[in-house]
Structure 1
Amino acid sequence: MPAAAIPGTTLFDGVQARKGYALNKMCFSFNSAENRAAFRADEEAYMRRYGVTGPQADAIRDRDVLGLLAAGGNVYYLAKFAGILGLDVQDLGAAQTGMTKAEFKAMLVRANEQQEA
C-alpha cells in the first residue's frame, strides 16, 4: 500500500532508497575526514567514484539539499554532506519547511512547550 502524501515533503521509501543509493553511499563515506578532504579537493572525481550523476550531481554542484532529497537522498546521510557546507540538521529542517533557521528553531521550542504543558 502506498504511503499517504505529505505536502511539501519527499517521502523516503523503497523507490527513493533505490534511486538514491549512490548518493547516500557517497554521503555515508563523509564519516571519514579523509573522504571529506578528498571530496573538497575534487568534487567531480569524488562523485564519479560513487556513480553520482544526473540530477544528483547537479544538486550537489548547486548545493541544493531539497533537490538531493527529491533525487533519493536520505536526510540522515545528507547531514554528512550538509556538514561539509557548514550546515546542521536545523538548517535542513528549515529548508524542508520553507522557514528561516530562526523560525524553525522557534517552532521546535513552541512544539516542545506544548508537549510539556
Structure 2
Amino acid sequence: MPEQHTIPDTPLFDRAGSIRGYKINKMAMALGQPQNREAFKTDEEAYLDRFGLTPEEKAAVMSRDWHEMVRLGGNLFFILKIAAVDPTPITQIGAAQASMSHDDFLYERLGKKRNG
C-alpha cells in the first residue's frame, strides 16, 4: 500500500477527490467557451444546474468560496476559470486558500505594504 502524505488543513486532490469533484470541474472547464461564459454571467444558477451540481457545490461557486470548492473536489486549475469570468485577482484566491485576509496575504506572502 502506498504511503499517504498529508499537509494539515490542505485538501488532497487524489483520485477520490477527482471523482468527487467531477461535476464542478467539468462546469468550470466549460467556461473556456465564450457561450458558456455568457450563460454563466446571464444566469449563474441555471448554468450550474446544467451540470448537476449539488446544492453544496452551487453554494460554494455562487459565494466564490474558493477554499470550499477545492474541499469539494474542485481542481484549482479549473476553478481559476471561474475567477476569470468575474474577474477575481488570483491573490484573493491565494488568501482564501491560506485562510488569510487579502491584505495579510499580500503583506506576509508577497511582501507588499499594508493598506491603510
Report if aligned partners of 1:5, 1:11 keep a CA contact under 8 Å in 2: yes
Match of residue 39 from structure 1: 40
* Cα distance in 1 for residues equivalent to 2:75 and 2:109: 21
- Provide TM-score, normalisation by structure 2: 0.81
Q: CA–CA distance in 2 between the matches of 1:33 and 1:9?
A: 32
Contact 1:8 1:96 (C-alpha < 8 Å) held by counterparts: no
What is the alpha-carbon distance in structure 1 between the residues aligned to residue 86 and residue 54 of structure 2? 20
In structure 2, the CA distance between the partners of 1:33 and 1:2, relative to structure 1 (3 Å rule), is farther
* Richer in helix (by share): 1
Normalised to the residue count of structure 1, the TM-score between the two structures is: 0.81
1:65 aligns with 2:66: yes
Unpaired segments ≥5 residues, structure 1: 111-117
Question: CA distance change for structure 1 residues 27 and 67 in 2, over 3 Å: closer, same or farther?
Answer: same
2:57 maps to amino acid: Q
**Which residue number in structure 2 is paired with residue 101 of structure 1?**
102
- Give the total of aligned pairs: 110
Q: Which amino acid aligns with 2:46?
A: A
Cα deviation for residue 100 of structure 1 reads 3.1
- Which structure 2 residue ranges, 5 or more long, are not aligned? 112-116
